[in-house]
């Protein structure tokens, strides 16, 4: 089960990095984007650290 948390954490990290890149490259903006990005980053960090 711990391995699945690690995989989910790294997948969320990948999603976060892709979204950050798209936001910067294409100047994407919508209401609540900061909250969405923050939640993804927080979840990814917690899941990766929980594995260690």
On the question of pLDDT at 52 being above 80, the answer is no
Q: Quick one: pLDDT band at residue 4, thresholds 50, 70, 90? A: low
Mean pLDDT (whole number) for 8-18:
94
pLDDT (tens digit per residue) in 26-41: 998 889 999 999 999 9
Structural domains of the chain, count: 1
Written in H, E and C, the secondary structure of the chain is CHHHHHHHHHHHHHHHHHHHHHHHHHCCCCCCHHHHHHHHHHHHHHHHHHHC
Q: pLDDT > 90: what percent of the chain?
A: 67
Range of the domain at 39: 2-51
The pLDDT score that the predictor gives to residue 51 is 80
Whole-prediction pTM: 0.79
């Amino acid at each position: 089960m711990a391995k699945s948390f690690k995989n989910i954490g790294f997948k969320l990290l990948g999603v976060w990095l892709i979204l950050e890149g798209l936001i910067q490259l294409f100047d994407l903006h919508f209401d609540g984007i900061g909250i969405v990005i923050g939640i993804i980053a927080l979840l990814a960090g917690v899941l990766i650290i929980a594995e260690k």
